[in-house]
Chain A
Amino acid sequence: MKRPVNKFGITVLAVAAAVAVLLSVMSYFSSTAAALPNLTGIIAAPFRSVAASLSDTVRQWTDYLTEFDALQAENEQLRLQIAQMEETVRRAEADRDENVRLRELTGLRQQRRDLQWESARVLVQDVSNWSSLLTINKGTSHGVEKGDCVVTEAGYLVGVVTEAGYNWSTVRTILDSETSIGALVFRTGGTAVAQGSFDLMGEGRLALDYLGSEPDVVAGDLIVTSGLAGYYPSQLVIGYVQEVRASDNGLAQYAVIAPQAELSALTQVFVVTDFDVVD
């Protein structure tokens, strides 16, 4: 029998260890993406774009063939919804005018929530069993920075930029086990923390933790970002509470949130590059 690990094998392992350490150090000391992933990202961007287009086309055709009846029914339902929303908009316009007049009368400060955003295309959905990440086609050259929030066209929270390359960025979605965002129960105004977990990630859900000793959360509650500390904009919709569960030790409770953004079918997102902090 040959010696299990010869001198050459040890050399290769030593080189691997050295390269790994080098990559880790480069990543640690870089404020944006490390040099190697950045370069790879730049080179791969056009290929990823083509692959994303191809994937979208295939999915559109598959959807067309398999979900025609469902789409027709959905279309009817959406028409009805649009009619109802138009009525709501008409009422909201009147309410807004009244609100402006009353604010002027009482001297209240305008609660603005101006967001500046950059539209981006989802190139890769890197959803594994251990993480939930997206690669988008905008980076530092477009003003995207690490820590920026990413939302859908409807303003539903998708995740946070964790790595910004020159013309690409990595977004950690709200399902990822490392996600932790200050949240607010819209109905009660109670604060909590929305965080991803390994056990809920597979179901496409996340947890609402730190609810306090007597949590006032019920299924159907809307959960939004709290905006506390000014890291993220407030009032971005995270999702709705599906159920409230007891934690493993039985002492505390947590809520299971179904994200409002359809994370598995994202093609276009918006990076919030700047926003006004509203108290």
Chain B
Amino acid sequence: MLPKSYLVFKWLVYASATLLFFALQSLVLNHIRVLGLTPFLYPLLPAIVAMYEGRRRGPVFALALGVVCDAMLHGPFQGFFTILFPAVALFAAVVGENFLSPGFFCCLFVSAAALLATGGMRILVQILSGGGYLALMARITVGETLLTLPAMLVVMPLYRTIHRRCASDY
């Protein structure tokens, strides 16, 4: 079992890397528009961390990230990211532990699932609140997913490095 101080250090490194991705989203990705769409990085973060860290630590990280996102971003309702991210993380951890070994294809799969789940939840909320066109919102969700997936090539290596370095040190 890892000492507590080491665990704290490890999750601080994860938090710092996540902060970098927040900066990447707000300073760079928010200004990119392809066919009227912008990449949306946040759902990738809990999915990829959970893929590496498993079913115990991944969803807890996702819960914390969800609370931060709800405080910083504007979802369809308060608590949207808090409830969505742990579910996404749990799914990613289950896939990583049971079906696909954590690597490129697993990351691609869980990232796509996380983005589609986020878009799907938004569509559900819009429909339940009586607004929006399903076909149009589905098109936005698919477009957003395709546009954001390449960002996985930046997110995955950094989280993988943190995971491997912290695992190999002990």
Contacts and interface: CB of A to CB of B under 8 A. Distances in A.
Given A12-B63, A12-B86, A133 B74 contact: yes
A85 interface: no
A4 interface: yes
B79 A20 contact: yes
Contacts of A21: 79
Interface string A114-150: 0000000000111111110100000000000000000
Interface in A48-76: 51, 54-55
A36 B37 contact: no
A54 B80 CA distance: 30
B102 interface: no
A2 B66 contact: no
B79 A24 contact: yes
A13 B87 CA distance: 7
A6 interface: yes
B128 interface: no
B7 interface: no
Interface of A: 1-2, 4-6, 8-9, 12-13, 15-17, 19-24, 26-27, 34, 36-37, 39-41, 44, 51, 54-55, 124-131, 133, 170, 177-178, 198-199, 201-203
Contact of B83 (A16, A126, A128, A170): A16
Contact of A203 (B36, B79, B80, B82): B36
Contacts of B101: none
Interface in B60-91: 60, 63, 66-68, 70-74, 76-80, 82-83, 85-87, 90
A2 to B, nearest CB: 6
B82 A40 contact: no
Contacts of A39: 71
B71 A202 contact: no
Contact of B97 (A2, A16, A20, A37): A2
B27 A23 contact: no
Interface of B: 23, 26-27, 30, 33, 35-38, 40, 55-56, 59-60, 63, 66-68, 70-74, 76-80, 82-83, 85-87, 90, 94, 97-98, 122, 131-133, 136-137, 140, 143-144
Given A16-B86, A23-B70, A1 B79 contact: no
A15 B78 contact: no
A202 B143 CA distance: 12
18 contacts: A2-B97, A9-B59, A12-B63, A21-B79, A27-B78, A36-B67, A40-B72, A124-B26, A128-B30, A128-B38, A128-B40, A129-B37, A129-B38, A130-B140, A198-B132, A198-B133, A198-B140, A202-B36
B90 A19 contact: no
A9 B90 contact: yes
A170 B37 CA distance: 21
A170 B87 contact: no
B32 to A, nearest CB: 11
Most buried by A among B55, B79, B90: B79
Contact of B37 (A26, A41, A178, A202): A202
A44 B37 contact: no
Nearest to A58: B27
A22 B35 CA distance: 37
B46 to A, nearest CB: 11
A232 B150 CA distance: 43
B136 to A, nearest CB: 5
A19 B63 contact: yes
Contacts of A12: 59-60, 63, 86, 90
Contacts of B59: 9, 12-13, 16
A165 B40 CA distance: 25
Contact of A9 (B38, B55, B79): B55
A36 B137 CA distance: 29
Contact of B98 (A2, A20, A54): A2
B90 A1 contact: no
Given A23-B78, A24-B78, A198-B133, A55 B90 contact: no
B164 to A, nearest CB: 22
